[in-house]
Amino acid sequence: MIEPEWGIWFVPTALIPVALRVVVGGIRFRSIDWLAFVFLLTAWAGYWAAYDPSTAWNKAWLVVTAVLLYFSLKAQPEQNLKRVSAFLFCLGVGVSLYYFLTHDFIATPRKLEFVNQLGRWIMGIRPQTGWTPIHPNYVAGMIAIAIPFIVHPVWINIKKDALIPIWLWLAIALGLGISTLALVMATSRGVVFAILVGVGGWLLWRGMQLNGIRHRLKSEAVFPILLFVYLCAMVAFLYVGPARSGSIFSGNYYYGNGSRAELFSRSLYLLFDYPITGGGLGSFPGLYSQYLLDIPFFNVPNSHNLFLDVGIEQGVLGGLSFFLLYIAGLWAVSRAIARGRGDRTFQWIVLFSLIVAFVHGMVDDYLYNGAGTMLSLFLVGLSMNGQSQAGESYRSRIDLRTVAVIAAIWALVAAVNLNQIRAIWYANLGAVQLAKVELAGFPNNGWAGYDIVARLDVADASLHASLRFDPANRTANQRLGIISMYRRDFDSAVEYLEAARAQTPAHRGIVKLLAYCYIWRGDMEKARELLFQIPEAREELDVYIWWWKAQGRSDLSENAKTALTVLEPPSQP
């Protein structure tokens, strides 16, 4: 990040000491560590699946960095944690300063007017850097999870009666002031909610320590279990209430209400489209625009959900391993607190930051987006630090009988659903092959045209193979409908898209494609009921009138003109 001209090739140098430790037998793994390896391996599968190899290549190495940080922070000796905490505090302050130096409070104002007034004043006195700004929600998230770590080195020095120089106190106070101001000026409701949930976790613990309750709840697993129940309730409340209100877009938004809950529910379709390989690292923007909104330009960078984004880009296995790593981290550090062993101050800082990252990750993704990807597992690594000394053997083993039973169950499930699994695999493969052709150069090249038809045969074969095993497969039917539209075989496209819509009537991408197919076939009655679900159709049809005429298809241009009259409101008497 500091020296971009070095390129991503600088990251693999971190693998050299890892290789040396493997040779001398200095690396030992716990069972939970294999989840990190699954996360890493599925990232490289995501690199293969991506329609933009350059973006995916860089992100793959950022994932490698994240996994290396996980193992590094997990293995740090206790005396090093003070330095790690100080570095994280400096990182939070640095992000705050970067926000003040780059954010444009005129072009993208915040929700509070006094914040915008202060921001415009800062813009008038700051130097011009030309740096790319970071989204305010991402800034607030990084501050919330990094700044609390300064408590650890300060508390250690206070306990040891060590003299802290006055200049250091002033630097800490200045850093806290800058970060607090940046947090306020970011005006992120999701971060405020996540912070309150983190404080609620501490209040839950304090409530359990009341004399009447503490004597009845002696098991060390009680606090972790209650904490998970509490977090589930908070996430449910988040999606039932705040995530359904408001829009992540400013101004008029054609494609829905713009809420995070709407974006989440739509993005789930992409998870089901690419469950095995994932849709590809860094591929969410193109996949969402192309297959959910049917537009050839950028709309949104991610699903605004940390865990769903990993699943979409790296497949269900990658997303599940990532989610379980966070669950394991929450369990490990909360159980360590319940046991009363180790540095409880540090454990509480880690737990608080992990809760904030987990809850805020449900509505924003800054730990798997761009450069933030390298920090996606650092809190999990810190939560595992020192756990091997908490009464456990470092070489925790998995019961082979348990593994055998689980493997047998999965083998039985696979045997019973073999045709479904084959259909899913071929649909996934065909969807990847189609995206690599359709989205090459996204979003610079606009709509792909008839010229790509010759390159769709491989995807077509995979998708037809899927339908041989499951004729109702939604992913295969939708993609075959798209291919038929490229070939201008609108009758076949309607058959495929009607089969896809029968499986998911609310899928916006399928509804829109089917509406246009009806129009090109001249079936305005069927198109009418679908067109009113597509607010942008009026503007697009106006363009199609010209576009089809330029393609030498005046008949389809006339159909677009007729469809446009269907959308006109009835005249008032």
The secondary structure of 411-444 as a DSSP string is: HHHHHHTHHHHHHHHHHHHHHHHHHHHHTTTTTT
The pLDDT value recorded for residue 32 is 85
pLDDT band at 500 (very low <50, low <70, confident <90, very high): very high
Q: Among residues of the chain, what percentage have pLDDT more than 70?
A: 92
The pLDDT value recorded for residue 393 is 43
CB 531 within 8 A of CB 514: no
Whole-number Cα distances in Å, 501 to 292, 496, 505: 13, 9, 5
Residue ranges of E strands in 336-394? none
The pLDDT value recorded for residue 276 is 96
Superfamily of domain covering 419-567: Tetratricopeptide repeat domain (1.25.40.10)
Q: Among all chains, which residue has been given the structure tokens 């045709």?
A: 419
Task: Point out the least confidently predicted range of 207-221, 276-290, 323-337, 518-532.
Answer: 207-221
C-alpha 77/C-alpha 287 separation (Å) is 43
Stretch(es) of the chain classified as CATH 1.25.40.10? 419-567
The pLDDT value recorded for residue 305 is 95
**Which DSSP symbol is given to 293?**
I
Coil, strand, or helix at residue 444?
coil
**Mean pLDDT within 302-330:** 96
C-alpha 4/C-alpha 375 separation (Å) is 18
One-letter amino acid for residue 180 of the chain: T
The pLDDT value recorded for residue 242 is 86
The pLDDT value recorded for residue 396 is 43
Cis peptide before 153 (omega within 30 of 0): no
pLDDT band at 394 (very low <50, low <70, confident <90, very high): very low
Task: Point out the least confidently predicted range of 12-16, 156-160, 292-296, 513-517.
Answer: 12-16
Look at residue 540 and tell me whether its pLDDT is greater than 50. yes
**Mean pLDDT within 5-11:** 70
The pLDDT value recorded for residue 3 is 64
Cis peptide before 443 (omega within 30 of 0): yes
**Mean pLDDT within 513-540:** 91
**Which DSSP symbol is given to 553?**
-
Look at residue 281 and tell me whether its pLDDT is greater than 70. yes
Give the model confidence (pLDDT) of 335-350 as tens digits: 999 888 788 999 999 9
Buried b (16+ CB within 10 A) or exposed e, 199-226: ebbeeebeebeeeeeeeeeeebeebbeb
Q: Among all chains, which residue has been given the structure tokens 């608080």?
A: 352
Task: Point out the least confidently predicted range of 42-46, 93-97, 395-399.
Answer: 395-399
Q: Which residue has the higher pLDDT, 193 or 27?
A: 193
Q: Rounded to 5 degrees, what angle do the CA atoms 233, 239, 245 make?
A: 140
Q: Nearest to residue 45, comparing CAs of 281, 370, 246?
A: 281
Please classify residue 392 by burial: count the beta carbons closer than 10 Å to its beta carbon, then call 0-12 exposed, 13-18 middle and 19+ buried. exposed
C-alpha 279/C-alpha 287 separation (Å) is 8
pLDDT band at 409 (very low <50, low <70, confident <90, very high): confident
The pLDDT value recorded for residue 395 is 42
**Mean pLDDT within 480-500:** 95
- The token pair at 345 is 């101050």
Average pLDDT, the chain: 89
CB 8 within 8 A of CB 57: yes
pLDDT band at 163 (very low <50, low <70, confident <90, very high): confident
Residue ranges of E strands in 136-209? none
Whole-number Cα distances in Å, 566 to 66, 100, 121, 510, 528: 53, 50, 51, 20, 7
pLDDT band at 90 (very low <50, low <70, confident <90, very high): very high
**Mean pLDDT within 45-66:** 94
Look at residue 130 and tell me whether its pLDDT is greater than 70. yes
CB 32 within 8 A of CB 384: yes
Q: Nearest to residue 18, comparing CAs of 98, 85, 72, 76?
A: 72
The pLDDT value recorded for residue 560 is 92
pLDDT band at 217 (very low <50, low <70, confident <90, very high): low
Q: Which residue has the higher pLDDT, 403 or 207?
A: 207
**Mean pLDDT within 423-436:** 96
Q: What are phi and psi of 64, to 5 degrees?
A: -60, -45
Q: What are phi and psi of 232, to 5 degrees?
A: -60, -40
C-alpha 201/C-alpha 217 separation (Å) is 17
